[in-house]
A and B are shown apart, each in its own frame.
Chain A
Amino acid sequence: MNAARHYLVFLQRCGRIAFVGDWRYYAWMGLLTVVSLLGLNAYARQMADGLISTGMSDQVSWGVYIANFTFLVGVAAAAVMLVIPVYIYNNEELHDLVIFGELLAVAAILMCLAFVTVDLGRPDRFWHLIPGIGQFNFPASMLSWDVLVLNGYLLLNIHICGYLLYCRYQGRKPAKWFYIPFVFVAIGWAVSIHTVTAFLYVGLGGRPFWNSSIVGPRFLASAFTAGPALIILALQIIRNVTQYRITDRALLTLRGIVQVSMLINVFLLLNEVFKEFYSGNLHIVSSKYLFVGLHGHHALVPWIWTAIAFNLIAMVLLVLPLSRSLRWLNLTCILSISGIWIEKGMGLVIPGFIPTPLGQIVEYSPSLNETLVCLGIWAAGLLAYTIFLRMAVPILQGRLSRANEGRSPDPALDGTAAPEVAAGH
């Protein structure tokens, strides 16, 4: 009972701290809330009018919602990139940062679930998906696998972060058996969430653009490029805003991961391009549409070549020692993330539908309402991540701990107090 009460106090303090900060915090959270509300309003419109308020059609029946979903599953999977060096290679430098990575994974998975929900025609029937209560088509449908692995990954990460943070709050050492096994499961599970998402596409024999064995490896390579790149940027922001100690060495370790992954990603791209265009058989029409246009339709061509340019420039920069400097590294990260977002979004989902299996070409561009919903979900995700960090950083710095419970006003809410305990455990 006592333990439950302590936990409730912990939660209450965490909750309160989310609403307190300096003017920059309020401005940032305020902006994100406004965008989220615009998105929510746009979604309410979509619920009322139907999915006709998006740019989708019977010809292109998945659009930016699923594109963002695919990208974000990759980001969530890439949180494991921090876990591997820490727990397998015992890289102490990255130890605490694992939590930041896993919190990003939680936020990313929440965004994924949101993107899938807004894409549904009948979200009121979500309960049909619940195993045991509804009719869960497992193991035949890859979507059922996705439901399981995504929710499992979410729970896994919430458990690991939650447990580690609560132990730190209580000032006690976490019991290894209560989190280490889960961490190792999470490594494998992270690879599986993205592989299952890839299999969603690969398993469709009727769409030759997707029905290729390179899609799975490509997904992982691009996820492990964009994910750590996002984490590099996020860690620098955390460092700036909270004075949490993050060494450049940690950032450069992550750079190493991005470097290798990007090289693999570009190599796989070359493989794809060769396979599609060298033999000249008829199944390559979607690739033609994407890279050079088809029958006068070429809306995606500038996008994919921009993405390829970004990725190639980023790859070159990553290989050069130039990108060891933070300014260049940040540019490289931004280029990688943008390039991969375009590639996985427009470059994967849309060409699978153009032309249709009956040869019709109907192009797609998201409607304003659809874009607002996407921006709203991104804002809500960033909002969630900011709240997670707003709770986690003071805990890791020791400013929010059991030791200073019960004092009024709550000393954790004062952003200028010096950390009582050095970071790192």
Chain B
Amino acid sequence: MPLPDSSAPLTGVTRRSFLRGTVALSGVAALAAALAPLRRLDDYTTVERFMQKYYKELTPDEMARVLARITSEVEREYGVRPHVRDLKPMDGVEFVYALNLTRCIGCRKCVHACVNENNQSRNPEIQYIRVLRLPHGSLDIEKAEHNYAPESVPEKGYFYMPVQCQQCKNPPCVKVCPVHATWQETDGITVVDYDWCIGCRYCEAACPYWARRFNFAKPSLPKDRLNPEMAYLGNRPRRQGVMEKCHFCIQRTRAGRYPACLEVCPAGARKFGNILDPDSEVAYILRTKRVFIQLKEEMGTSPRFFYYFDV
């Protein structure tokens, strides 16, 4: 039997629905308030960046606009006007890296030269190259030491092996990327379109060499250390939430120069060049040296990185 409705107002709002409505409203307010931290998001994305097409689909005009936008963004952020180019691979070139394990002394200068050249975040720290210290006589990675810090290198009884992206011929990272944000170019470099990557980190899980890095926070690098010579697929500053990795200093190598890690090595342990050119250093090495190691060869990745020994 219905109870007398003592509170039936003219508006038709009953007390029950009023209370429920108030709770619902407060819930919606709490929902909106929950999003408050998004106030801190500055420069996350703009409409233009959101709509930007995939690298391989950009027309030359669109690419020019993108490069201009990147130039002005970098200038605004760092106060330095960069020179950003979209360098294309050269015909008849396939890059190969050779590293002489007899010569590497483990000084880690390559790590820092790379960081400097490629505008990597200093905090959180991103380093493409990781130098491993291994005991004489074994290539067992489980015995590798990453944090050696002796007074002086090289240390007796050990050798050193720097590892970076191996630019594999059969790259697992390219296979697993759900959006084609990473692919291999004709000159052998596996590149990342930083504006296309969705940050799922599947490539990082797939890489057998632990070569890929993720921007867990907004990268920070000091303004006075910015390298203004940039390439779209190379060392232009990246954003929070995207992957990056060694790209053989694409802004240098596609202009014919040696990568930064090679130039700084005090022992001359690093060699780089075009394997298709029989007169190159790397062709000489692969022709004359007896023993090469391709790391984790059994993975079937076919790396373009060859470790070798002199003695």
Contacts and interface: CB of A to CB of B under 8 A. Distances in A.
A206 B178 contact: no
Interface in B147-201: 163, 172, 175-181, 196-201
B79 interface: no
Contact of B198 (A61, A120, A200, A207): A120
B204 A128 contact: no
Contact of B199 (A48, A121, A285): A121
Of B180, B200, B202, B217, chain A has the most CB atoms within 10 Å of the CB of B200
A326 interface: no
A142 B207 CA distance: 15
A45 B35 contact: no
A360 B124 contact: no
Contacts of A203: 176
A233 to B, nearest CB: 28
B201 A50 contact: no
A140 B178 CA distance: 8
Nearest to A358: B210
B183 to A, nearest CB: 10
B214 A128 contact: no
Given A119-B200, A141-B175, A204-B172, A50 B217 contact: yes
A359 B205 contact: no
A321 interface: no
B34 A37 contact: yes
Contact of B40 (A48, A124, A125, A137): A48
Given A37-B34, A204-B206, A357-B208, A282 B45 contact: no
Interface in A104-153: 116, 119-126, 128-129, 134-137, 140-144, 147
Nearest to B241: A121
A271 interface: no
A44 B35 contact: yes
Interface stretch (A52-60, A74-82, A240-248): A52-60
Given A19-B20, A48-B41, A58-B214, A121 B201 contact: yes
B22 to A, nearest CB: 13
A359 B206 contact: no
Interface residues of A, number: 59
B50 interface: yes
A47 B205 contact: no
B243 to A, nearest CB: 8
Interface string B20-51: 10011001001101111111110011000010
A41 B37 contact: yes
Contacts of A353: 205
Contacts of B143: 359
Interface string A49-91: 1111000111101100000000000000000000000000000
A119 B163 CA distance: 27
A205 B140 CA distance: 18
Contacts of A51: 199, 214, 216-217, 241
Nearest to B193: A135
Contact of A358 (B38, B132, B172): B132
A357 B141 CA distance: 8
Contacts of B208: 205-207, 357
A360 B210 CA distance: 10
B280 interface: no
A137 B177 contact: yes
B199 A120 contact: yes
Given A58-B214, A61-B204, A40 B178 contact: no
B130 to A, nearest CB: 6
Contacts of B180: 135, 137
Contacts of B176: 137, 140-143, 203-204
B309 interface: no
A33 interface: yes
B45 A124 contact: yes
Contacts of B36: 41, 44
Contacts of A48: 37-41
A37 B32 CA distance: 9
A124 B175 contact: no
A48 to B, nearest CB: 4
Given A33-B27, A135-B180, A120 B200 contact: yes
B223 interface: no
Contact of B214 (A121, A140, A356): A121
A50 B124 CA distance: 11
Interface of B: 20, 23-24, 27, 30-31, 33-41, 44-45, 50, 54, 124, 130, 132, 140-144, 146, 163, 172, 175-181, 196-202, 204-210, 212-218, 239-243, 296, 299-300
29 contacts: A19-B24, A38-B34, A40-B31, A41-B37, A47-B37, A52-B124, A56-B216, A58-B212, A121-B198, A121-B214, A121-B215, A121-B240, A122-B241, A128-B179, A134-B179, A135-B181, A136-B179, A140-B176, A147-B178, A203-B176, A205-B208, A205-B299, A206-B209, A353-B205, A357-B141, A357-B209, A359-B144, A359-B146, A360-B210
Pairs A-B, 6 closest by C-beta atoms: A121-B199, A206-B208, A121-B241, A50-B217, A143-B178, A52-B216
Interface of A: 19-20, 30, 33, 37-38, 40-41, 44-45, 47-52, 56-59, 61-62, 116, 119-126, 128-129, 134-137, 140-144, 147, 200, 203-207, 282, 285, 352-353, 355-360
